[in-house]
Chains A and B, each alone.
Chain A
Amino acid sequence: MKAVIRVLWFGVAQEIAGTAEEEFMAEDTATLRLLIFEKHPRMRNVKFRLALNGTILKKDGQLEKNDVVAVLPPFAGG
């Protein structure tokens, strides 16, 4: 079932999205990726990982209501 997902944008992804946070309706992370590309086509050129509720996802999976998905471009600390 589709759920409202909070998406947090970071780094260059935040510049592309033009906001720090956005809501999407998606039932799984694979669908969410497609919706992200549809809404922000420039994200197709960005290498990124997704974190679900603060943990980096190793593979796509189901999403549930109130899940928080963070879009993480390559880290650049230090």
Chain B
Amino acid sequence: MTDNFLVAGPITSVLISELMTLGNHDSGAGAVSIFEGRVRDDEVDGKKVKALEYSAYNEMAEKEAAEIIRVVKSAFSDVRTVLFVHSTGIVKAGEVSLFIIVTAGHRDHAIRACRQTLELIKKKLPVWKKELF
């Protein structure tokens, strides 16, 4: 399990499998909600995006990520764990750049907390991307 919210390069299926085991020991967690953000091969000015290059203000991002998790946990009483990882560096189209997992007692808070985590990441995490063609 990683303690860092930022990982270099794409989020691999190995890391996702590892994160998916989160809460396996917790038999009160009846609901697990996940979100995967993947790089899209958008067309910009007639050119296809081959990859995105992510950069981050690392120190601030780690601090903000911990704060996002704290806020989500305090907003949803049924939530048991919240975790996410975000890529830095180059991630090719089709590859995963963001993975969120939330466990909760029941589905309602699991799904809503996952969505809120995503929205807070978009709003609060100091991460930038540059299109590579």
Interface flag for B37 (CB, 8 Å): yes
Segment 106-125 of B: residues with Cβ below 8 Å from A: 118, 121-125
Interface flag for B71 (CB, 8 Å): no
Contact flags A22-42 to B (C-beta < 8 A → 1, else 0) = 000000000000000000000
Interface flag for B128 (CB, 8 Å): yes
User: In the bound complex, do residue B122 and residue A10 qualify as a contact, i.e. CB atoms below 8 Å apart?
Assistant: no
User: In the bound complex, do residue A77 and residue B63 qualify as a contact, i.e. CB atoms below 8 Å apart?
Assistant: no
User: In the bound complex, do residue A77 and residue B60 qualify as a contact, i.e. CB atoms below 8 Å apart?
Assistant: no
- Bound: A40/B100 CA distance, A: 38
Contact flags B88-106 to A (C-beta < 8 A → 1, else 0) = 0000000001100000000
User: In the bound complex, do residue B55 and residue A75 qualify as a contact, i.e. CB atoms below 8 Å apart?
Assistant: no
Instruction: Report the nearest A residue to B122, measured CB to CB.
Output: A78
Segment 62-78 of A: residues with Cβ below 8 Å from B: 70, 72-73, 75-78
- Bound: A11/B125 CA distance, A: 13
Residues of A within 8 A of B130 (CB): 11, 15
Interface flag for B48 (CB, 8 Å): no
User: In the bound complex, do residue A78 and residue B57 qualify as a contact, i.e. CB atoms below 8 Å apart?
Assistant: no
Residues of B within 8 A of A14 (CB): 55
Residues of A within 8 A of B125 (CB): 75, 77
Residues of B within 8 A of A5 (CB): none
Interface flag for A8 (CB, 8 Å): yes
User: In the bound complex, do residue B57 and residue A8 qualify as a contact, i.e. CB atoms below 8 Å apart?
Assistant: yes
Residues of B within 8 A of A8 (CB): 57
- Bound: A38/B16 CA distance, A: 46
